[in-house]
Amino acid sequence: MCENNETSITEFLLLGFNSYQETKIILLIVFLLIYISILTGNLLIILLVATSLHLKDPMYIFLKHLALADVVFTSNIIPNMLHTIINDGSRMTITACYTQYYFHCFSGYAESLILTSMSFDRYIAICHPLRYRSVMNPKVCSYFIFWSWATGFILLPIEFISLSNLKFCGSNIIDHFFCDFAPVLLIASSDTNSAQWEDFVLSILFMIVPFVLVEISYICIFITILKISTTNGRRKAFSTCSSHLAIICTYFVTAIAVYIFPIGQNTSYEIKLKSLLYTILTPFLNPILYSMRNKEIRRSFYQQFNKILKDT
């Protein structure tokens, strides 16, 4: 409960990037262009996989759901972030704040599990190619997709029970560009130990464990690649896998740095910078590194584009 001389808070004030007034317009334009690029690239992937008959392998199904997760992930944050930049701040009710954080976790956890599924798919395809069709059959692929989305939906309410019991008195200022876990807990007036432990456990389940599984998969993949006899074949395989691993590491390492380490070890500037890397950079790069460099995706795009030209 709040003290007699304190008022219970019903809304938060997000500061966003108000300390960067001299670059306000530049930030607005850059983030808007990135958001448009994210939507365009990921929606294009969803459309191509949904309409192209030859993009039905598990890898492309995973790509479609990764693109969907990226659209939800960024659309939950960037529009309000742009509003915050324009207005030098943004007010959100506690309910709206928790709703934003819920969809942030829901889509983020789904993305983590989808990336893990994709790594396993690549591991089977490269390390056990003769067993690929039998292991990654449509039923198994459907299970991976279903649980990637459902696991967070099932487990997240546990954390939100503790969040809903938090009390906020005094300051309502959140020095961040969206309602994230650490900045919200920094201004909580009640005990946050329960919420922090629950978030820590969920972070282990959805970040540390998937990251370790991804690393193990790619270590096995690289070992198999080293056995390729031709230099050109090894170079091509290393180029593709290295780019995939780089974007995965960027996502997981920055997310882990924000959510696993204690709140006090991150300054407001550090939290914003790390959050930008996994909330904006990785969804921006995913369509480029995972799809636009893929021959089948490019072929499907050109076919659809030529079909549209012929129809017009």
Burial class (CB in 10 A: 0-12, 13-18, 19+), 232: exposed
Q: Two tokens at 219?
A: 């270590």
Distance CA 124, CA 295 (A): 20
pLDDT for position 4: 60
User: What is the Cα–Cα distance from 130 to 144, expressed in whole angstroms?
Assistant: 21
pLDDT value at residue 263: 53
State the pLDDT at residue 139: 93
Task: Determine the pLDDT at residue 312.
Answer: 64
The CA distances from residue 60 to 9, 45, 48, 69, 214, in Å, are: 46, 9, 10, 14, 18
Bridge partners (DSSP) of residue 13 are: 91, 173
* Neighbour-count burial for 68-101, b at 16+ CB within 10 Å, e otherwise: bbbbbbbbbbbebbbebbeeebbebebeebbebb
Is the distance from CB of 269 to CB of 183 less than 8 angstroms?
Answer: no
Q: Which domains does the chain have, with CATH numbers?
A: 11-304 (1.20.1070.10)
For position 5, what pLDDT does the model report?
61
One digit per residue, the tens of pLDDT, for the chain of length 312 reads 566 666 778 889 998 888 777 888 999 999 999 999 999 999 999 998 998 888 888 989 999 999 999 999 999 999 999 999 998 889 999 999 999 999 999 999 999 999 999 999 989 988 888 899 999 999 999 999 999 999 999 988 888 888 888 888 888 899 889 998 888 888 888 888 888 888 888 889 999 999 999 999 999 998 888 887 777 767 777 766 777 787 788 888 878 877 776 555 567 777 788 888 888 888 998 888 877 677 778 788 777 777 777 776
pLDDT attached to residue 1 = 55
Which candidate, 225, 242, 243, places its Cα nearest to that of 234?
A: 225
